[in-house]
Amino acid sequence: MAKAPTAMQADVIRSALALASRPSVDHLLYVGDLPLPEELFRGKPRARKRLVQAVVSESQRDVIEASGVPVLPLPNYDLGRPEKLKIALVSGIARGLYKEGDVVVGLLARKPASYPDSILVVTVGPEEEDGAFGFLQTEKISAGVMDTLLELAVSVGVEGWEGRPVGALFVVGDSNTVMEKSRQLTLNPFQGYSEDEKNIMNPDVRHALHAFAVLDGAFVVREDGCVIAAGRYLNFDEEKELELPLGLGARHMAAAGISRDTEAIAIVVSQTSGSVRVFRRGKAALELAPRVRRP
């Protein structure tokens, strides 16, 4: 049985519930594995109705869902509060829980098994606005596929492969066009397998993708999670200017270019830092920075 929140934690929760009860707020997003004490919701039915919880532990997700609270999955890695909130918002947008213009009160815990200690208010907006998350609002890519790709990218960034850091590039969606705008650099290790045998929802396939991250080139993934190819060289119009942050290299440029010239989303893992960036329509629209890389 979870211990009760401290007086300070209870005050933080009450403050978030008060904000979430305002007419100008649309959602309450709690990032943490522990259930919120039900007594704190007394007199705040609006906040209770707006609650969604982002949870790391798979078994705890079942517990929270059984209590009637919608659940979003989070990867089990050492991410900061802002990174956890970003992943949860992306997952919620992909599931249609959040839409452009929605105001979300984020209630954040430092660790999954801790009660929340921080509040952040976010507006879901168009992708050209700083701090917006509407860029992933697409019906074509399933929510499960997006969750899995982000978790896989974070795992590659944190763990590398066999003790050494690796980078990776995953391109998901609009796969026919992406294949037309790319060419094979090496033998395609996914050639000849059935669709079930090369879907990223299969843990064995995710393990293979992690291993194949050492190969040059990009992974091409269909909207339903089927891996079409690995080791692809991406072609894009290099004459058109790209808006890239300083210090990013060829892999990030390819991600920006292919996402600009197609309807695909490109997810890049930096070999240098382990950070994960998501590109849509030629722009870096999301960045996740794991706090610790495993040796």
Q: How far apart are CA 121 and CA 102, in angstroms?
A: 11
Quick check: 127 pLDDT over 70?
no
User: Tell me: the pLDDT tens digits for 186-231?
Assistant: 888 898 888 889 999 999 999 999 888 888 899 999 999 999 999 9
Give domain 143-288's CATH superfamily: DNA integrity scanning protein, DisA, N-terminal domain (3.40.1700.10)
Within the chain, all domains assigned CATH 3.40.1380.20 are found at: 7-136
Which residues, 6 or more positions from 201, have their beta carbon under 8 angstroms from its beta carbon?
A: 144, 145, 148, 225
- Position 161 scores a pLDDT of 79
Is 235:250 a contact under the CB 8 Å cutoff?
no
User: Would you tell me which CATH number, out of the four given (3.40.1380.20, 2.40.37.10, 3.40.50.1010, 3.10.20.90), belongs to the domain 7-136?
Assistant: 3.40.1380.20
Tell me what pLDDT residue 131 has. Answer: 46
107-116 b/e with 16+ CB inside 10 Å = b? bbbeebeebb
* CA 269 to centroid of chain Cα atoms: 13
pLDDT tier at 178, thresholds 50, 70, 90: very high
Inform me whether the pLDDT recorded for 112 exceeds 60.
Answer: yes
Q: Which residue has the higher pLDDT, 164 or 175?
A: 175
Is residue 18's pLDDT more than 80? yes
Contacts for 186 with CB less than 8 Å, ≥ 6 apart: 215, 216, 217, 230, 231
What percent of the chain is predicted at pLDDT more than 70? Answer: 93
CB 163 within 8 A of CB 295: yes
Average pLDDT score over residue span 15-28: 96
Domain with CATH 3.40.1700.10 in the chain: 143-288
Handedness of CA 178, 179, 180, 181 (dihedral sign): positive
